[in-house]
Amino acid sequence: MPSVLLVDDEPAITDNLTPFLSRAGFDVRVARDGESALELLGSAVPDLLVLDVLLPGLDGRAVLRRVRKEHGALPVILLTQVGESAERAMALEEGADDYLNKPFDPQELVARIRAVLRRGQGGDGPSLTGAQRLRAGSVVLDRASQRVHRDDHEVVLTPRATVLLGYFMTHPDELLSRERLLEAVWGWTYQSSARAVDTRVAELRRVLEDDAANPTLITTVPGMGYRFSAPVERA
C-alpha cells in the first residue's frame, strides 16, 4: 500500500481527503503545517507528498526546497489556490512533480498521485522534476536557465513553449489533455482555448522534430491530447 503524507492546514480538506485516499488504496498520514511535515519526514519518508502551498509558518514552497535538499527522490504534488502561471512555473522549476489547483476533484488527485508514482517506479536518485537538466535524444533542456539545445546547438523558443517543454519532459509517456496543459502551464485563470496549447506544440515540433509533420517527440493522441513519447533522462 503506497504511503502518502498529506500536508494542509484546512480541516475541511484533510478530513475529506484522508478517508477518500485510504479507500483508493493509500496509507495516509496528515500534517497541519510545514514544520510538522518535516518532523514526520524525519521519522518515516512516505512514497509521495501532497503539499499545500499556503501553509502557516513555513510555507509549502519552503518545505519543497527542504524536501529536494534532504529527500531528493521524494515525489511531491503541490496544492494551491493561486492560479497564476508564473507561480506555477516557479514551483515546477523548484522540483514539484505536479501542481493541482483548489478546488479540485479528489478523483483527479488520485489520478495524479498514481501517475507520479508510476513515473518514479524503478528510479534511483533524484526524480526528473528534481533535475536541473533533462535530455530526450538530441534535445537538452536546462530548467534553471530555461535554455534549450538540440544537437549541441541552442535553439530559440518562446518562454511559454519552453515551460511547456519542461512539463512534457517531466511527464514522459503520460497522456496529457489540452485542458490539463492549459491548467499546468498557463494557469487556471488564463482566458484562452485549447488552441493556445496546439500553437505552442506546433512551435516545439517545428524547432525540435526532424519532421514536424510526423513527430516522434510530442505525439498526438486523437481526441484526447498529447504524449511526450521519447525517453527522458537526467542530463
**26-34: average pLDDT:** 96
**pLDDT score at 124:** 45
Q: For strands 139-142 and 147-150, give the pairing.
A: antiparallel
- What pTM was computed for the model? 0.66
pLDDT grade for 34, boundaries at 50, 70 and 90: very high
Q: Are 38 and 61 in contact (CB under 8 A)?
A: no
pLDDT grade for 123, boundaries at 50, 70 and 90: very low
Task: Give the span between the Cα atoms of 123 and 111, in whole angstroms.
Answer: 20
How many residues are given for the chain? 235
pLDDT of 30 strictly over 70? yes
Across 67-76, 126-135, 223-232, which has the greatest mean pLDDT?
223-232
**97-118: average pLDDT:** 86
Q: What is the DSSP string of the chain?
A: --EEEEE-S-HHHHHHHHHHHHHTT-EEEEESSHHHHHHHHHH---SEEEEESS-SSS-HHHHHHHHHHH-TT--EEEEES---HHHHHHHHHTT-SEEEESS--HHHHHHHHHHHHHHHTT--SS-GGG-SEEEETTEEEETTTTEEEETTEEE---HHHHHHHHHHHTSTT--B-HHHHIIIII-TT----THHHHHHHHHHHHHH-S-TTS-SSEEEETTTEEEE-S--EE-
